[in-house]
A and B are shown apart, each in its own frame.
Chain A
Amino acid sequence: MALLEFTDKGIYCPPAKVHIDPWRPVERALITHGHADHASWGHRAYLCTKSAKPVIRYRLGDINIESVEYGEPKTINGVKFSFHPAGHIIGSAQIRVEYKGEVWVASGDYKLEDDGISEAFEPIKCHTFITESTFGLPVYQWKPQESVIQEINDWWANNKATGKVSVLTAYSLGKAQRLLHSVNHEIGPIYTHGAIENTNRIIRKQGIKLPPTRKTTGNISPGAYQGALIIAPPTALNAAWIQKFKPLSIGVASGWMALRNIRRKRTADKGFVFSDHADWQGLNDAITATGADRVIVTHGYTKAFTKWLRQERGLDAIEAHTEFEGESLERKEDKEDNS
């Protein structure tokens, strides 16, 4: 029997009788981070990191939730669990599972670069590593954060100089705060869409410093937002809401912006290649650092990435067949948004 297995509800640990990031209601759920495709509603009990808890509680309401510090061991039915930084968003974790000398790590979503606001990724030695593969093709290569932020600052400053409002889309949990933390807030005022401001409120309350932001309001007098940067979730682009800010320039910050065909499909003026997931090199480095000889690949280009690990890297790699993978087309789009 495997220590972790893939079931129709999510990743399951039979000896401990708990699930990791389940998507259907279960007794006890260990949650890697607060994004909707990992933290779902309806479980009897939740366990996550201290810094992930406030947002998960805010998103899921009155749930039975317990939290642990990073690295703090928690034994459940004789199985030892611990949470370790994944670098994806604030509070995100890889979950280490140890039982009778065997160690597995379920990575959740992760990135290797220290973004300055999320707890930086720590490689964990293990026998079996469950990795995501959102950007598991060699065409995905990220530039250092500093250089992308420079591009964003330049774009914003240039828009300001030409009398345009800058609207930058980013997923409301994670990417938005990372941007707020990194952009040069001396360029102009920063506004956020309601959905993002609500998340900011929670994050500030847990003691994380973000630059001052203002929530965009319903009645917008012409010129009120001149020179401003507005951070909004990608879905806001489809609404009439955004037209009120004209003249404006729309930027999209996402890993998918690496591809011209996706860039052109979005009605954005500017695409910034900026992701909270590991790029190709990152995925490969992370796997090397775990020392694992067995790798299970989920979420993303599972087939190609598994073949790469097996054939070219000589690892015992398999694809995780989860219901979640093929669930629906819309889901895929949501995923684009939290990349």
Chain B
Amino acid sequence: MKLFVQLFHRLDQSTNVNQKREALVWYFSEASDIDRLWTIGLLSNKRPKRIATIALLKEWATEITNIPVWLFEESQHVVGDLVETITLLLPMPKKENEESLSFWINYIKNLENLEEEQKKEKIIAAWQCLQPTERLLFNKLLVGGFRIGISQKLMVEALAQYTGIKGNLIAHRLTGSWIPDNITFEKLILTESPLENSSSPYPFHLASALEGGIQDLGAVSEWSAERKWDGIRGQIIVRQDELFVWSRGEELLTDKLPEYHPLADLLPNGTVIDGAILPFKNGQPLNYNELHTRLGRKNITKKAMDKTPIIFMAYDLLEWQGEDIRLRPFRERRHLLQQMLSTYPTQGILVLSEDIPFDDWGQLVEERALSRKYRSQGLMLKRWNSSYSSGRQRGDWWKWKADALTINAVMIYAQRGNEGGTNLYSNFTMGVWDGDLLMPFTKVSGLTEKEASEISAWVSRNTRERFGPVRSVEPVHVFEIAFDGIRSSSRHKSGVVLRSPRIIRWCKDQSAREANTLNDLKAFLELY
């Protein structure tokens, strides 16, 4: 298990995505086929079943080490993690162990049908020959709590880099109900699966942020305008009676979106639609965070679907009746999209993103000011004669976001960040005044390195209390915070949640007392 332990350490010690990817690629090139397969399984939530409860492991560990319960609990308090505490208490192994990851996974699986006494005997025997980190991973696997914080996307990228196979093909091959026991690495990753080519999305055409004045775009008649919806950009594909849903990040999300599944029957084969995966209820888009939460769930329950229903806001048609129409002008594609939506009703799964009629730029300025009323992020401007090309083709598609909202708030907690490996205090919890108290409402970062080192020195000297990595500080410093949106939220103490908060200015000339209040913050809700 040594190789896997090295991988674990490299992943665990890094917060940098590139380093993590590099570690995975290194591991895939060093590991045996069967270990590679199991690692993919573990990172895809295909863990072995739980063999023992944490409570049982704790009982056995304290029994063989003669540690009283109170001392165990003191230790747990310091260590934080229960399984890690158990792991660290056990005596050091007398010898090294050369067995592989898959050996130990099979060892664990073979415990499944044993009586408790036999399990105990086997588990203690394993403890006696595993090194501390090996033991930690072994114990995490035993209790079914193995998590390592690697997204499916990152793993797909690493596998693509290692095998030289395109990421979207790998993503496709990893879907479905395979388990490491009934497949090989060769068969899972290196073998073409029948539908995979038909599942491929087109490269996404991306828009750039509008920088100059709107008038600079030229003739009004050349442009279309739509709302910019706050969802996840995606493509819906129906081919060979199958449905595939891809995110812009090339993640295959089909399984996470059961509400889209009827589209496989409702739409004709050879259809690809571009649009936004959008949480939507009672005729209105919901908070982006809710979408994020729902997609993060491993199991999609009926309850979750009722709470956060998801529609597809259709922007563009890329393939129609099996023909790639991306080079046709946008105006024609939109026309076909509208026609398709009226010919093939989809029970509200697909919704056309309406275009905003306008005769002069002034009208659009007014429409943009209404963005928050529509619960949108701003406007999208597309040239009527543009094709759907890949990547970010400047000049044809512009996103014109609503102006950010700003508020002055006081830093109340600080935490070290990892930007550039400098380890400075760069993540802050901010508060606004609620009477005489500061109400925390958001976490932000965004200072320059120079400012961060200045504030770090100050934080070290002005710490009130420490809570693990977080320090509470004297409420002195005021930052101007910009954010793109705000929603009320019963899950946050402040009653609101912000979209994309960031620091835009350190207000050194302002005292904490001059910062904004919770009422000022909540007043922004009226914009919606």
A→B interface (CB under 8 Å) = 137-141, 143, 237-238, 240, 242-243, 250, 258-261, 263-271, 301, 304, 307-308, 311-312, 329-330
**Minimum C-beta distance from B238 to chain A (A):** 44
The reply on B59 being an interface residue by CB < 8 A is: no
Most buried by A among B65, B70, B456: B70
Closest Cβ of chain B: how far from A235's Cβ, in Å? 11
Determine if A141 and B92 form an interchain contact, defined as CB atoms under 8 angstroms apart: yes
Q: How far is the CA of A242 from the CA of B92 in the complex (A)?
A: 35
B13 touches A265 (CB 8 A): no
- Residues B424 and A308 in contact, CB atoms below 8 Å apart: no
Interface residues of B in 77-117 (CB under 8 A from A): 78-81, 84-85, 88-89, 91-92
Q: Is the CB of A264 within 8 A of B460?
A: no
Contact B89 A138 (CB under 8 A): yes
Neighbour of B13 across the interface among A143, A240, A269, CB < 8 A: A269
Closest CB in chain A relative to B57 CB, distance in Å: 15
Let me know if B194 is at the binding interface, CB within 8 A: no
The yes or no answer to B216 lying at the interface (CB within 8 A) is no
Q: How large is the interface on B (under 10, 10 to 19, 20 to 34, 35 or more residues)?
A: 35 or more
Q: Interface SS of chain B: helix, strand, loop or mixed? A: helix
Contacts of B75 in A (CB 8 A): 137-139
* Contact of B13 with A268 in the complex, beta carbons under 8 Å: yes
Q: Judging by beta carbons under 8 Å apart, are A139 and B13 in contact? A: no
Least CB separation from B78: chain A residue: A137
In the complex, chain B residues 24-83 whose Cβ is within 8 Å of any chain A Cβ:
65, 67-68, 70-71, 74-75, 78-81
- Partner-binding segment picked from B394-402, B415-423, B510-518: B415-423
- The residue that B85 contacts in the complex, of A139, A240, A304, with Cβ under 8 A, is A139
B interface with A by C-beta (< 8 Å): 9-10, 12-14, 65, 67-68, 70-71, 74-75, 78-81, 84-85, 88-89, 91-92, 132, 136, 416, 418, 420-424, 456, 460, 463, 466, 468-469
Additional A-B contacts beyond A137-B71, A138-B71, A265-B469 (13; CB < 8 A) = A137-B74, A138-B75, A139-B89, A141-B91, A238-B423, A238-B456, A243-B420, A260-B79, A260-B80, A263-B13, A267-B423, A269-B10, A270-B9
Instruction: Please name all residues of chain A whose beta carbon is closer than 8 Å to the beta carbon of B84 when the two chains form the complex.
Output: 259-260
Query: In the bound complex, what is the Cα–Cα distance between A250 and B10 (angstroms)?
Result: 12
Q: Cα distance A138–B64 when bound, in Å?
A: 13
The residue among B13, B65, B75 with the most chain A CB atoms within 10 A of its own CB is B13
Q: Which of A139, A143, A237, A270 has the most CB of B within 10 A?
A: A139
Complex contacts, B78 vs chain A, CB 8 Å: 137, 139, 259, 301
Q: Can you report 29 A-B residue pairs in the complex whose CB atoms are below 8 A from each other?
A: A138-B89, A139-B75, A139-B78, A139-B79, A140-B88, A141-B92, A243-B420, A243-B421, A259-B78, A259-B79, A259-B88, A260-B81, A260-B84, A261-B81, A263-B13, A265-B469, A266-B423, A267-B416, A267-B418, A268-B13, A269-B10, A270-B13, A271-B13, A304-B74, A307-B71, A312-B71, A329-B463, A329-B466, A330-B460
Instruction: Give the CA-CA distance A143 to B133 in the complex, in Å.
Output: 13
Contact A240 B14 (CB under 8 A): no
- Asked if residues B80 and A304 are in contact (CB atoms below 8 Å), the reply is no
